[in-house]
Every structure is written in C-alpha cells, then in structure tokens.
Amino acid sequence: MIKVNMHEAKTHLSRYARRVKAGERILLCERNVPFAEIRAIGQDEVEKRGRPLGLDRGKVCLPADWDSPETNREVAALFGLP
C-alpha cells in the first residue's frame, strides 16, 4: 500500500487509477496524514449498489397537465428563464 498526498494524486490520477485496477490500495493523505483509502471494488459490490427500477412506483402522482405549455412556463418563470 502506498501513501499519496492530495496534490500528487490530482496530478497523476490516471497513473494511480491503473495501479488500483491492478489490485493495489492507495492511502490518500493530507500533509502526510492518511484520511482515505482508494481501492478497487468488485463486480458484486457494483451490482449491490444499483438502485432497483420502480422502487417508488405508486408513490408519486402527477396531475394530467404536468407537462402542459402553461405549467412549463410557470416552472421556467420560477427559475427566471424566458
């Protein structure tokens, strides 16, 4: 495991990313004090983090005119858009 300060990590991010992909772990430091670890994640972790589709099905109700030109103008006006 190697220690890398923030400036070096930002400067050589792609280099460290290759090392992480190869299985190395990197300690990210600020003024030589470690505060985070950078490591590769396995495919099973990626799959677990995904949000299932339809999780809020039936919880959100939109009126029939939710996408009408009038509603769009009102929303645009809220954001100061023409």
Domain contains 53: no
Instruction: Give the pLDDT score at 57.
Output: 86
Domain contains 3: yes
Tell me which residue range forms the domain holding 34.
1-42
Domain contains 12: yes
Residue 2's CATH number: 3.40.1620.10
Domain contains 33: yes
Instruction: Give the pLDDT score at 47.
Output: 65
Distance of CA 30 to the CA centre of its chain: 22
Domain contains 1: yes
> What is the number of domains present in the chain?
1
For the chain, the three-class secondary structure string (H helix, E strand, C coil) is CEEEEHHHHHHCHHHHHHHHHCCCCEEEEECCEEEEEECCCCHHHHHHHCCCCCCCCCCCCCCCCCCCHHHHHHHHHHCCCC
Instruction: Give the pLDDT score at 21.
Output: 93
Instruction: Quote the pTM value.
Output: 0.52
pLDDT tens, residue order, the chain (82 aa): 899 999 999 999 999 999 999 999 999 999 999 999 999 987 776 666 666 778 888 898 888 988 999 999 999 999 999 8
Domain contains 5: yes
Domain contains 59: no
